[in-house]
Each structure stands twice: as C-alpha cells, then as structure tokens.
C-alpha cells in the first residue's frame, strides 16, 4: 500500500487529537558531508530501508500536540514533517528532519537548520521534546500544552555516545526543548534513568523557567532549554578586560540579588535585585575603593528547591545559589521585570561592561562540585541524573552516590566527558560574557578521581591552568571539600591557582581576639603565608586573604557572638560551623552598652586594617563596610530577607564613621606598593620583637621598608591593657606621621595624609592597632 495512503488514513482518524510523537526513519548519512545530497529543498530523502521498515510509524498520541501530518512521497522518497501552527491563522509549516551531527553539543544553528546534540553513554532511547512558539513555557508548566516529541533512531541519530538530530526551518528563537531519556533500570550499577521526566540539556545556553525570583505561586516550576539565533549581537563597544595584576586586586564578595533588592537601595522597583541593579550602585563600589567583585553563583539555579516537598526547611528560599541546574545559562530571575533568560543574558553583559568601564573586574563563584539534583532519598532530577547518572556523578561499587560535597551528590569532574563540559562552560563565560576569573567552590572535589580518591595531578585542574583561554583568567580554589580533603597551601596549582587561605582567616581571627600563642602565626599570615605558598614560582598573591566570607559570621557578628544562632534555618541549630573563633566582647548579641559598642567597633577596624596591610590578595564581604548583622546566623543561605540583603539605610547612618574608615584603608592599600609585593618579604621587613616564644605575648610591631624611604610602621595590641611601645627611628630626613589609630573616633582614626607629632614612643590602647608612615 502506498505510504501516503497509510499515513493519510492515520491522519484522518487522529485529525482532531493531533499526533504527539514520531519515530524518525533511518536516513543514510554520508561520512564525508555534513548533510547528505539527499537533503532536498522540499524534504529529506529517506533510505529505502527506512521506508520498507516503516519506521516512520506513529508511536503514541497525547492531547494538545503539534504534529499534524507525516508525509512520504513514495516516488521521490522525501520526508517532510508538517507542524500545525498554534496561532489563529492555522497556517502550516514544513520541517525537514535530518540526522544532524554530534558536534557541537547543545542546540546550534547550521545554515538554516537547528542541530541538537546530547551525550549519553548508557541511554537506550533518547527523545527530543519541543515546544514551539507562540506557545510559552507557562503553557507547558501549567499543563496546557504538551511537547512535540521526536524519538531518535540510534542507527541514524547516534555517533559514538552522542545522540543528535537536525531540523530545518525550525524557529530561530522562542523554541523550548528538553529530552526524555531511557536506559537500564539498574540502580546497583549507578543508573537512574526515568523517561517520564523531560530533562534539561546540560549544554543549553539559556534556561526558561519561573520568571520571578521566589514566586510562591510557582514553586514547582519546570526548567527547559531554549536558544536565540536571531537576536542582534551584543554591542560590547570597546570593552576590554581590566587585566588588573593579581597583587593589586581588592576583592568584594557579593550577591547579585541581595545587593539592591531591599527598598532602601532606592533603585527602581523593576530592577531591584537584578544585574542592572548592580550597575546603579557601581558608585558605591568605587567609593569603597575595591577593584574586583566576586559574585555568588549566577548560573541558573532553583531558589525554590527547598519548598518542593514538606520538610523542616520548606520556609526557606535559596538566595546564595550553590545548587546549579545548568553551567552555561545566567540566572534568569536576575533579569529585570521578570524578563526571562534572553534578557538576563543581555543584562548580565551590560553589567559586566559597566563594571569594566569602572575599572572593576568580574570574578564568578562557580559550583562544579555538585548540582541541584540532591541524593537518592530525595532526588530532584532535572538533567544530569536522568541523562547518565553513572557518568556525571561519582558512584561507589554498589551504585550509590558518593557525597564529598555535603549536598547529596558529587560531580564526576575528572571523567573526560564531565571535564570537557566544565572546560566548555568556563570558556563560554569568558568568551560570551567577558568575565575575568572564577572562584571554585569546594575545589578539592576537582582533585578527586572517578573513584573519589585524591589525585596528585588532577587532569581538570591542570587543564584549567593550561587552557589557552582560561590561562588569562584569575583562577581561585576553595581548597577543601566536605570529605576532609583539606589542601590549603597544597592545592595542585601549576603556579597558576590562587587559594582561599583558610589558615589566614583562622589565625588572624584568633590573634585579634586575644588568643594566646598566636603572635608568630599572625606574623606569618600578614606577611604572605610563605610557609604555605613559597613553593616553586608561587607568589604571596596566590593567598586570597580573608577574615569574613559569605558563609560564616559577618564581621559585626564575629565581634558580637560567641555562638551561632541558626534556629531560623529549620535544622535545630545543627547546621553551620561551630568553630568560628569569634568573641562577643563580653555580651552575646545586641547591646546598648556604649563601652562594649566602642570595643566592637575597634575590633572590626583592627580586623580590616590587618586584612588590608597583609601581603597577598585581600577579599572582604558585602555589607561589612557598614557592619551588617545576621544576628548570629552563620549559615544564612535560605533567607531572602534583611538577614542577607544589603541595608542601604544603615550604610547611610555609618557613612561618616565606620564606612569612612573602611574605605580609606582600602584606598591606602591600593596607593602603596609596599602592601602588594610581588615576592615574599625578606630584608624589606623588620620585626620589632625579641620574645617570639612567649605564648602570653599578644603584641606585635614591625616596619615595612620602602625603597623611597616611605616606611610603614604597624603595631597590633590584642592585650586588655595599654602597651607603651618604643617607636624606631624613621629613615633619614623623614618623620613619622600617624595615619591610623583604631582607638580614636572618626575622623581621627584614619587620616590618609598623616598627622605629625609622633614621638619616640606610643601608648597603644587595648585591642587596638596603629599605622605610622615615614614622610
């Protein structure tokens, strides 16, 4: 019977239902051409084997679907897929189906065709799911529309372990897509296939989902890939990377949403909490004096993931974003006005361009150690787990997920396919979005093999260090993970990787708060941590010095709380770190005691001064410039409230005091090369100390020597009493000027040009520090 008659008969019986899914016929593919000669202007000539086996048969039907006709002309053996338009015009459009190609992965445009390619080594069946305009994501998410499904023929649409298909005349934008993937139902072998779920393409460049951040009416949003091949190229104008030398960086760790979402920002309501909101507040960053921002995760994540099921944390919204859904797409709900993924990408670029124009570099905090898909008890399957769990995640000999991230799964970073995914993602952010560097969350995971054991020379870490594109970027490791692989000072580095120096944080905290026996360690940390980084060609700036970061106490809380207060997190206070090395200065929490408030202020200034005069690269946390408090919560990831959000009214109240000191100290550092040495200190420092072995001594003084004679003298007193210290003679023809004394009130606590009158001794107050400059 003629193929046309067969299909016309099917079409007649299903005319009002519409067909939902088709099984693609087997097309012959020339190995020497991208598309075989049989691809004609009216369709694609199938192989005779495809017609004879009738692999064009209809597999199944579902309501509200888009395929209206599959037509074969037996004489010319042409294959045409006609799609019934979803508009009132009821016009028809023909889509020509071709086998496609295995590279590049993701959705790509080849001539007038859209190619889809996805890797799955263990899949037995892959189905491409499409939702065509003018239907929208909301139509699918609410169940009003189901997707056109095209099942791929492994004999035609598979090259190696990559499945692919190409469709001609598909819209160049506005199409949403995903995959249904099936395979072995064998958990003990590490497989987690579930063909009932439409999965997100790991290489999707844009992700469509919930449009508004934290929308309580759309907690169970689904996420689909999309593409845009018809938008105008972004006009970067003359944008260039600031290329700030690493030893000159002052990093400001910040959260995109939290920076401007509070009403006190006085940013237009439409752009609060968005990439554009940051642009509005660049003047603040310049006034503070920093020259690099480190953005908490901006890859697509589901902020409502904690509310998908009933649990003790279902009141929380993930505002930090350490739960990646996709490694290529900017967080779409950071777009203004709920603008969606395409606008999010454009506005991200506008933000980067504006920051670069202000001389500020953009470093992204990236999470390649785990994804949002959680564990086997409460899985949240959106992509990798359902595509090929055994490849993308570390599994043990029983097929169970390994958990070195503390989040239920661990990305299999050194598997060749996963490694290439990560490298492709990083290059994409540099090439497409002009970012300047990356900070790798729980980077020790990147040093584990596919069996979870540590590697001496992890391929991924080396590849990042040596890559032609990434070698020009700042690359920073958080050198530990939740499996106990602590690599501070030992992270495989190829003389390129910098590290968050956790030992700097701990030793400086302990000395400033008055712990005994820390003077020597404090001296080592502020002079560049040579004990950790003076290896091969590493430099002091490979130590990212920080006292405060997003996780843990804020600076204000560090001097106000002895204990964490995380009850509002819903975990019974069991979450968050217990070893904070904090001191509440004599009273837990808020107080009206003037002396106690003054002591806390002094301690915050001591910490900040120590950070900014240290050799290495300093990093400070958003909000510390005005004394932001989370009221003792040291793990506030799930609070989309003032607990995390920048309080601009409090900044205004502290502008002439606390903020002025912090800003002046940052600028003083940047104006003096003496704090930003390329090499470790040797003869260019004099330690005024002959009592290193005395564990009771909590006073340290030293002079940094400048080849121009503009020496800097510093003293830190962590005792509870005054210390009368002898001041060394200044260089010839010079005099000492007091620049900083944290015991003084603003504006006398910091005077950049210096105050004359320093004599041969100085009475350093309890829990205070001083800085003198020779002029």
pLDDT tens digits, one per residue of 308-352: 999 999 999 999 999 999 999 999 999 999 999 999 999 999 999
For residue 6, the model assigns a pLDDT of 31
Q: What is the pLDDT of residues 211-266, one digit of tens each?
A: 999 999 999 999 999 999 998 899 999 999 999 999 999 999 999 999 999 999 99
What are the tokens at 324?
């990646």
For residue 391, the model assigns a pLDDT of 98
For residue 93, the model assigns a pLDDT of 56
Residue whose pair of structure tokens reads 């600076």 in the numeric block? 555
For residue 185, the model assigns a pLDDT of 96
Could you tell me if 209 and 224 are in contact, meaning their C-beta atoms sit under 8 angstroms apart? yes
Q: Is residue 481 annotated as a catalytic residue, yes or no?
A: no
Q: What is the pLDDT of residues 293-304, one digit of tens each?
A: 999 999 999 999
Strand, coil or helix: 354: helix
Which stretch of DSSP H or E encloses residue 699? strand 699-704
**pLDDT exceeds cutoff 70 at 17:** no
Residue whose pair of structure tokens reads 């237009």 in the numeric block? 268
Could you tell me if 531 and 524 are in contact, meaning their C-beta atoms sit under 8 angstroms apart? yes
Percentage helix, strand, coil for the chain under 3-state DSSP, each rounded to 5? 25, 20, 50
For residue 27, the model assigns a pLDDT of 36
Find all residues with CB under 8 Å of 145, minimum gap 6, and list them.
64, 86, 131, 135, 139
Distance CA 625, CA 623 (A): 5
For residue 691, the model assigns a pLDDT of 87
Q: In degrees rounded to 5, what are phi and psi of residue 478?
A: -90, 100
**pLDDT exceeds cutoff 90 at 35:** no
358: closest CA among 297, 298, 281? 281
CA angle 528, 533, 536 (to 5 degrees): 130
| Bond before 747 cis per omega within 30 degrees | yes
pLDDT higher for 382 or 44? 382
Distance CA 21, CA 179 (A): 13
Q: What is the DSSP string of 552-586?
A: S--HHHHTT-SS---GGGSSTT-SS-S------TT
Look up residue 232 and give its DSSP letter: P
Q: What value does the CA radius of gyration of the chain take, rounded to a whole number of Å?
A: 30
Predicted confidence band of residue 136 (pLDDT cuts 50, 70, 90): confident
Mean pLDDT across 480-495: 98
User: Can you name the residues that pair with 124 across neighbouring β-strands?
Assistant: none
Distance CA 617, CA 615 (A): 7
Find all residues with CB under 8 Å of 467, minimum gap 6, and list them.
423, 426, 427
**pLDDT exceeds cutoff 90 at 143:** no
Strand, coil or helix: 546: strand
Sign of torsion, CA 50 51 52 58? positive
For residue 199, the model assigns a pLDDT of 98
Could you tell me if 380 and 407 are in contact, meaning their C-beta atoms sit under 8 angstroms apart? no
Length of the chain: 775
Question: Is the model's pTM score more than 0.85?
Answer: yes
Q: Is residue 689 annotated as a catalytic residue, yes or no?
A: no
Mutual angle of helices 416-433 and 384-392, in 10-degree steps:
120
Distance of CA 342 to the CA centre of its chain: 19
- Which residue among 153, 262, 478, 557 is the active-site one? 478
- Which residue among 441, 624, 640, 664 is the active-site one? 441
Mean pLDDT across 133-142: 79
Residue whose pair of structure tokens reads 């320093």 in the numeric block? 758
What are the tokens at 79?
């294959």
Mean pLDDT across 622-627: 98
Q: What is the DSSP string of 378-411?
A: S---SSHHHHHHHHHB-B-TTSPBP-SSSSS--B
Distance of CA 305 to the CA centre of its chain: 17
Find all residues with CB under 8 Å of 143, minimum gap 6, and list them.
none
Cβ density class 516-548: b for 16+ within 10 Å, e for less: eebbbbbbbbbbbbbebbeeeebbbbbbbbbbb
Q: What is the pLDDT of residues 162-205, one digit of tens each?
A: 999 999 999 999 999 999 999 999 999 999 999 999 999 999 99
What are the tokens at 217?
């009416």
For residue 142, the model assigns a pLDDT of 75
pLDDT higher for 85 or 149? 149
Mean pLDDT across 269-276: 98
Q: In degrees rounded to 5, what are phi and psi of residue 168?
A: -90, 145
For residue 95, the model assigns a pLDDT of 83
Distance CA 263, CA 414 (A): 44
CA angle 75, 81, 84 (to 5 degrees): 130
Mean pLDDT across 5-22: 33
Average pLDDT, whole number, for the chain? 89
CA angle 618, 483, 631 (to 5 degrees): 50
**pLDDT exceeds cutoff 90 at 527:** yes
Q: What is the DSSP string of 3-56?
A: HHHHHHHHHHHHTTT-B-EEEPP-----TTSSS-TTB-SS-EEPPHHHHHTTTT
For residue 139, the model assigns a pLDDT of 78
691: closest CA among 519, 524, 521? 519
**pLDDT exceeds cutoff 70 at 16:** no
For residue 640, the model assigns a pLDDT of 98
Could you tell me if 252 and 285 are in contact, meaning their C-beta atoms sit under 8 angstroms apart? yes
Strand, coil or helix: 551: coil
For residue 112, the model assigns a pLDDT of 86
Could you tell me if 693 and 747 are in contact, meaning their C-beta atoms sit under 8 angstroms apart? no
Predicted confidence band of residue 41 (pLDDT cuts 50, 70, 90): very low
Distance CA 122, CA 388 (A): 6
771: closest CA among 737, 739, 747, 730? 739
Q: What is the DSSP string of 701-736?
A: EEEE--TTS--EEEEEE-SSS-EEEEPPPPSTT--E
Bridge-based pairing of strands 78-84 and 723-726 is: unpaired
Neighbouring CB atoms inside 10 A of 172's CB total 14
Q: What is the pLDDT of residues 443-483, one digit of tens each?
A: 999 999 999 999 999 999 999 999 999 989 999 999 999 99
């Amino acid at each position: 019977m003629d193929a046309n008659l067969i299909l016309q008969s099917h079409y007649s019986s299903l005319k009002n239902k519409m067909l939902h899914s088709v099984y693609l016929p087997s097309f012959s593919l020339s190995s020497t051409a991208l598309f075989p000669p049989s691809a004609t202007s009216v369709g694609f000539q199938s192989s005779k084997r495809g017609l004879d086996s009738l692999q064009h048969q209809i597999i199944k039907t579902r309501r509200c679907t888009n395929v209206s006709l599959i037509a074969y002309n037996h004489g010319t053996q042409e294959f045409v897929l006609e799609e019934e338009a979803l508009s009132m015009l009821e016009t028809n459009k023909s889509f020509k189906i071709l086998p496609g190609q295995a590279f590049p992965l993701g959705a790509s445009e080849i001539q007038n065709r859209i190619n889809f390619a996805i890797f799955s080594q263990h899949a037995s069946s892959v189905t491409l799911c499409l939702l065509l305009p003018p239907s929208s994501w909301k139509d699918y998410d609410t169940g009003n529309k189901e997707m056109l499904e095209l099942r791929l023929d492994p004999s035609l649409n598979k090259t190696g372990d990559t499945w692919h298909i190409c469709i001609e005349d598909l819209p160049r934008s506005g199409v949403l897509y995903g995959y249904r993937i099936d395979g072995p139902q064998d958990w003990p072998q590490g497989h987690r296939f579930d063909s009932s779920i439409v999965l997100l393409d790991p290489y999707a460049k844009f992700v469509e989902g919930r449009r508004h951040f934290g929308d309580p009416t759309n907690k169970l949003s689904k996420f689909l890939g999309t593409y845009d091949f018809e938008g105008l190229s972004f006009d970067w104008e003359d944008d260039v990377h600031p290329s700030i030398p690493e030893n000159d960086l002052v990093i400001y760790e910040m959260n995109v949403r939290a920076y401007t979402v509070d009403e006190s920002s006085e940013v237009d309501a439409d752009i609060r909490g968005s990439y554009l909101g940051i642009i509005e507040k660049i003047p603040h960053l310049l006034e503070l004096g920093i020259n690099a921002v480190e953005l908490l995760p901006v890859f697509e994540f589901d902020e409502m993931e904690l509310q998908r099921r009933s649990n003790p944390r279902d009141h929380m919204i993930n505002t930090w974003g350490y739960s990646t859904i996709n490694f290529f797409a900017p967080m779409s709900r950071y777009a203004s006005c709920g603008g969606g993924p395409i606008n999010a990408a454009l506005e991200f670029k506008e933000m980067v361009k504006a920051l670069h124009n202000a001389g500020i570099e953009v470093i992204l905090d990236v999470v390649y150690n785990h994804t949002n898909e959680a564990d086997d008890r409460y899985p949240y399957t959106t992509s990798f787990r359902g595509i090929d769990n055994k490849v993308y995640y570390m599994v043990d000999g029983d097929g169970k997920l390994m958990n070195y991230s503390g989040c239920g799964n661990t990305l299999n970073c050194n598997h060749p396919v996963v490694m290439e995914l990560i490298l492709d993602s990083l290059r994409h952010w540099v090439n497409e979005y002009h970012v300047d560097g990356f900070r790798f969350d729980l980077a020790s995971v990147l040093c584990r093999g596919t069996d979870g054991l540590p590697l001496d020379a992890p391929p991924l870490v080396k590849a990042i260090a040596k890559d032609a594109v990434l070698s020009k970027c700042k690359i920073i490791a958080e050198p530990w993970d939740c499996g106990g692989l602590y690599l501070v000072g030992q992270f495989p580095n190829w003389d390129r990787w910098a590290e968050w120096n956790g030992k700097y944080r701990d030793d400086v905290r302990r000395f400033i708060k008055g712990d005994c026996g820390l003077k020597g360690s404090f001296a080592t940390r502020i002079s560049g941590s040579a004990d950790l980084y003076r290896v091969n060609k590493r430099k002091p700036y490979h130590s990212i010095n920080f006292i405060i970061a997003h996780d843990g106490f804020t600076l204000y809380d560090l001097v106000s709380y002895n204990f964490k207060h995380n009850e509002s997190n819903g975990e019974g206070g069991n979450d968050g770190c217990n070893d904070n090395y904090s001191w509440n200065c004599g009273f837990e929490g808020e107080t009206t005691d003037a002396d106690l408030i003054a002591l806390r202020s002094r301690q915050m200034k001591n910490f900040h001064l120590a950070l900014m005069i240290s050799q290495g690269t300093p990093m400070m946390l958003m909000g510390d410039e005005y004394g932001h408090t989370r009221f003792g919560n040291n793990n506030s990831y799930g609070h989309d409230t003032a607990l995390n959000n920048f309080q601009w009214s409090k900044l205004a109240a502290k502008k002439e005091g606390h903020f002025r000191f912090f800003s002046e100290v940052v600028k003083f550092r940047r104006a003096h090369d003496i704090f930003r040495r390329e090499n470790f200190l040797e003869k260019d420092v004099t330690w005024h100390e002959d009592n290193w072995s005395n564990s009771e001594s909590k006073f340290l003084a030293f002079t940094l020597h400048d080849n121009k004679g503009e020496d800097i003298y510093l003293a830190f007193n962590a005792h509870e009493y005054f210390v009368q210290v002898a001041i060394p003679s200044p260089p010839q023809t010079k005099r000492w000027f007091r620049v900083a004394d944290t015991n003084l009130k603003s504006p006398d606590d910091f005077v950049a040009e210096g105050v004359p009158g320093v004599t041969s001794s100085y009475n350093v107050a309890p829990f205070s520090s001083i800085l003198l400059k020779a002029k």
